[in-house]
């Protein structure tokens, strides 16, 4: 076990941890909404359109801004520590025995606020199976989006799966020629609204549209094949297109099955699977319960007590509340868009709403998967 002079298990116990903004460089532009949330006097879109939350995953960028880019930090007794280091001194407390035995000393999820000013590059991520078999990586990048907002003046669309898939040869031609109209014609964009949730399995060609503000949850990796080379005036260097493996290797990642969207069904949309009362006026909905991650939505209108069974990331998506760890009395007010890490062994957490609050709970998969 690692030890740090000022970090030891007792200092981590009996409390939860607020996560400050952790902005990450990306090749597309956005981030104005994140600036506004941070209280920036001159909010503006730029190349920091994402906030990586509870991240132990390093960003893979053409020119890294810092070696720790992507890794979340927390403040403890006035000092900043990487969440990775905090978990390393007390992994059993943060993750629990079953998780630790099954997944190792890592929360095994990556969560982000993603705030797009423009449509992202068309891209595809490897599935877990592909990553393990051909990339020597433990995780692929199945991902999910929970839509929080659509900027005024933007349509609010996602491009998910090929509705009219090209053959492998046609796809190679479109990518080599950067025939974007032909690539676009393979998709029917999907209109989205705040509150919608989508899951995008690894292998699915996709792009998030412009003006979206979402909570994105994914397997903990930054593996991406970007098959559109220019967006918003930024041209991706060769090394950032095909994971340095070449186009032919990457064509095997694509799911080329047709993914039709019908009036009654969108194969990527998640219907709330289960809803249960937490108290007289508060509810919990299961949005996603998959082998990759779990996401729940709480609507808190009166006092509730939660007893999470694993490492949990809680994000206030509207309203505000006071959170109290009952084992210690440690408490804090949570405002809109604040996020906290709850160690698996924290014990019961009481939430007293200050204004009707909506809270997303993001968790690793149950270890039996
Ligand atoms: O191509 P870029 O700028 O790295 O963007 C990749 C982004 O796309 C996503 O995979 C969403 O599709 C994000 O998780 C990721 O950060």
* Rounded Cα gap, residues 195 and 180, in angstroms: 30
Closest CA to 164 of 184, 144, 145, 142: 184
Taking the centre of ligand 1 as the mean of its atom positions, its distance from the CA of residue 237, in whole angstroms, is: 15
Asked if residue 303 belongs to a domain, the reply is yes
The better pLDDT of the pair 359, 9 is held by 359
Beta strand pairing call for 339-342 and 331-334 = unpaired
Q: Look up the CATH number of the domain holding residue 68.
A: 2.60.120.10
Asked if residue 261 belongs to a domain, the reply is no
User: Which residue has tokens 């909404």?
Assistant: 33
130 lies in which domain range?
Answer: 9-251
Closest CA to 173 of 164, 182, 165, 184: 182
Question: Sorting pLDDT into bands at 50, 70 and 90, what band is 9?
Answer: low
Beta strand pairing call for 110-115 and 212-218 = antiparallel
Residues 235 and 93 in one domain: yes
Mean pLDDT of the 161-182 span: 98
Asked if residue 48 belongs to a domain, the reply is yes
| Ligand 1 residue neighbourhood (C-beta within 6 Å) | 26-28, 50, 112, 120-121, 123, 208, 216, 218, 224, 226
Mean pLDDT of the 348-369 span: 93
Taking the centre of ligand 1 as the mean of its atom positions, its distance from the CA of residue 263, in whole angstroms, is: 28
The preferred substitution site among 23, 26, 147 for testing ligand 1, maximizing ligand atoms within 8 Å of CB, is 26
**Residue where a domain stops, chosen among 216, 251, 286:** 251
Residues 127 and 235 in one domain: yes
Question: Residue 208 in contact with residue 116, Cβ under 8 Å?
Answer: yes
Count the domains in the chain. 2
Asked if residue 259 belongs to a domain, the reply is no
Asked if residue 342 belongs to a domain, the reply is yes
Residues 246 and 286 in one domain: no
Residues 18 and 139 in one domain: yes
Beta strand pairing call for 110-115 and 50-53 = antiparallel
Residues 219 and 340 in one domain: no
Taking the centre of ligand 1 as the mean of its atom positions, its distance from the CA of residue 78, in whole angstroms, is: 32
Asked if the model's pLDDT at residue 133 lies above 70, the reply is yes
Taking the centre of ligand 1 as the mean of its atom positions, its distance from the CA of residue 125, in whole angstroms, is: 9
Neighbouring C-beta atoms of residue 314, cutoff 10 Å:
25
Residues 18 and 144 in one domain: yes
283 in helix, strand or coil?
Answer: strand
- List pLDDT tens digits, range 309-354: 899 999 999 999 999 999 999 999 999 999 999 999 999 999 999 9
**ipTM value:** 0.95
Residue located nearest, by CA, to atom 8 of ligand 1: 120
Query: Cβ contacts of residue 366 below 8 Å, gap of 6+?
Result: 294, 310
Residues 197 and 339 in one domain: no
Mean pLDDT of the 210-231 span: 97
Taking the centre of ligand 1 as the mean of its atom positions, its distance from the CA of residue 174, in whole angstroms, is: 21
- List pLDDT tens digits, range 172-209: 999 999 999 999 999 999 999 999 999 999 999 999 99
Question: Residue 169 in contact with residue 251, Cβ under 8 Å?
Answer: no
Ligand 1 atom closest to the CA of 226, numbered from 1: 1
Which helix H or strand E contains 36, and what residues bound it? helix 32-37
DSSP 82-93: EHHHHHHHSHHH
Question: Sorting pLDDT into bands at 50, 70 and 90, what band is 3?
Answer: very low
Asked if residue 196 belongs to a domain, the reply is yes
Asked if residue 2 belongs to a domain, the reply is no
Q: What average pLDDT is seen over the chain?
A: 94
Residues 116 and 54 in one domain: yes
Neighbouring C-beta atoms of residue 365, cutoff 10 Å:
20
Residues 317 and 210 in one domain: no
Asked if residue 82 belongs to a domain, the reply is yes
- List pLDDT tens digits, range 268-299: 999 867 789 999 999 999 999 999 999 999 99
**Residue where a domain stops, chosen among 192, 216, 251:** 251
Is residue 159 classed exposed, middle or buried when 0-12, 13-18 and 19+ CB atoms within 10 A define those classes?
buried
Residues 307 and 243 in one domain: no
**Residue where a domain stops, chosen among 251, 286, 302:** 251
- List pLDDT tens digits, range 312-324: 999 999 999 999 9
Residues 129 and 210 in one domain: yes
The preferred substitution site among 69, 109, 120 for testing ligand 1, maximizing ligand atoms within 8 Å of CB, is 120
Taking the centre of ligand 1 as the mean of its atom positions, its distance from the CA of residue 144, in whole angstroms, is: 12
Partners of residue 104 on adjacent β-strands? none
Residues 233 and 302 in one domain: no
Ligand 1 atom closest to the CA of 207, numbered from 1: 12
């Amino acid at each position: 076990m690692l030890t740090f002079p000022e970090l030891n298990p007792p200092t981590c116990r009996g409390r939860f941890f607020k996560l400050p903004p952790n902005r990450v460089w990306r090749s597309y532009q956005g981030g104005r909404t994140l600036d506004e949330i941070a209280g920036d006097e001159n909010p503006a879109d730029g190349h920091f359109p994402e906030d990586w939350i509870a991240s132990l995953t390093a960003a893979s960028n053409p020119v890294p801004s810092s070696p720790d880019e992507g890794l979340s930090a927390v403040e403890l007794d006035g000092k900043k520590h990487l969440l990775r280091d905090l978990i390393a001194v007390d992994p059993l407390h943060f993750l629990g025995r079953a998780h630790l035995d099954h997944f190792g000393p890592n929360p095994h999820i990556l969560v982000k606020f993603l705030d797009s000013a423009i449509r992202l590059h068309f891209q595809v991520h490897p599935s877990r199976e592909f990553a393990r078999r051909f990339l020597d990586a433990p995780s692929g990048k199945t991902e999910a989006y929970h839509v929080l907002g659509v900027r005024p003046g933007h349509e609010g669309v996602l491009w998910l799966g090929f509705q009219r898939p090209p053959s492998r040869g046609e796809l190679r031609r479109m990518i080599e020629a950067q025939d974007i109209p032909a690539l676009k014609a393979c998709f029917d964009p999907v209109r989205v609204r705040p509150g919608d949730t989508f899951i995008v399995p690894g292998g699915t060609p996709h792009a998030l549209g412009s003006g979206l503000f979402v909570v994105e949850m994914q397997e903990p990796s930054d593996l991406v094949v970007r098959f559109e080379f220019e967006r918003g005036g930024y041209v991706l260097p060769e090394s950032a297109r095909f994971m340095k493996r070449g186009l032919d290797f990457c064509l095997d990642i694509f799911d080329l099955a047709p993914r039709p969207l019908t009036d009654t069904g969108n194969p990527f949309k998640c219907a709330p699977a289960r809803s249960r009362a937490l108290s007289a006026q508060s509810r919990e909905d299961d949005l996603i319960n998959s082998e990759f991650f779990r996401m729940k939505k709480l609507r808190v209108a009166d006092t509730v007590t939660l007893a999470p069974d694993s490492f949990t990331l809680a994000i206030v998506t509207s309203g505000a509340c006071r959170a109290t760890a009952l084992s210690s009395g440690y408490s804090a007010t949570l405002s809109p868009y604040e996020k906290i890490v709850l160690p698996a062994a924290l014990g019961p957490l009481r939430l007293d709403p200050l204004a009707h609050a909506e809270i997303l709970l993001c968790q690793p998969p149950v270890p039996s998967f």
